[in-house]
Amino acid sequence: MGRYVVRRLLQMIPVFFGATLLIFLMVNVMGDPVAGLCGERQCDPATAAQLRREFGLDKPLWQQYATYMGNVFTGDFGTAFNGQKVTELMATAFPPTIRLTIVAIVFEVVLGIALGVVTGLRRGRPVDTTVLLLTLVVISVPTFVTGLLLQLLLGVKWGWTRPSVSPAATVGELIVPGLVLASVSLAYVTRLTRTSLAENRRSDYVRTAVAKGLPRRRVITRHLLRNSLIPVVTFIGTDIGALMGGAIVTERIFNIHGVGYQLYQGILRQNTQTVVGFVTVLVLVFLVANLLVDLLYAVLDPRIRYA
Binding site for another protein (CB under 8 A): 30-33, 35-47, 49-51, 54, 81-84, 89, 92, 103, 106, 110, 148, 151-152, 155-156, 159-164, 167, 170-173, 175-176, 221-222, 251-257, 261, 264-265, 267-270
Quick one: which of 293, 206, 112 has its CA closest to 306? 293
Q: Which is nearer to another protein, 169 or 287 (CB)?
A: 169
The number of beta carbons lying within 10 Å of the beta carbon of residue 196 is 20
Its sign, for the CA torsion 68, 71, 77, 80, is negative
Q: Which is nearer to another protein, 62 or 144 (CB)?
A: 144
CB of 156 to another protein, least distance (A): 5
Give 14-23 contacts, CB < 8 A, sequence gap 24+: 15/283, 15/287, 16/280, 16/283, 16/284, 16/287, 17/69, 19/279, 19/280, 19/283, 20/69, 20/276, 20/279, 20/280, 20/283, 21/65, 23/275, 23/276, 23/279, 23/280
Angle between helices 272-300 and 61-73 in degrees, nearest 10: 60
CB of 50 to another protein, least distance (A): 5
CB of 234 to another protein, least distance (A): 21
Q: Which is nearer to another protein, 69 or 76 (CB)?
A: 76
CB of 168 to another protein, least distance (A): 9
Q: How far is CA 166 from CA 60, 105, 147, 179, in A?
A: 42, 21, 17, 17
Q: Which is nearer to another protein, 125 or 222 (CB)?
A: 222
Is residue 129 within 8 Å of residue 136, measured between CB atoms?
A: no
CB of 212 to another protein, least distance (A): 18
Is residue 80 within 8 Å of residue 271, measured between CB atoms?
A: yes
Q: Which is nearer to another protein, 7 or 218 (CB)?
A: 218
Q: Which is nearer to another protein, 1 or 149 (CB)?
A: 149
CB of 157 to another protein, least distance (A): 9
CB of 120 to another protein, least distance (A): 17
Q: Which is nearer to another protein, 196 or 272 (CB)?
A: 272
Amino acid identity of residue 99, one-letter, is R
Name the β-bridge partners of 79: 85
Q: Which is nearer to another protein, 121 or 291 (CB)?
A: 121
Beta strands in 149-306 (DSSP E): none
Please provide residue 85's backbone torsions phi and psi, each rounded to the nearest 5 degrees: -65, 140
CB of 241 to another protein, least distance (A): 21
Q: How far is CA 60 from CA 28, 53, 142, 223, in A?
A: 11, 12, 41, 59
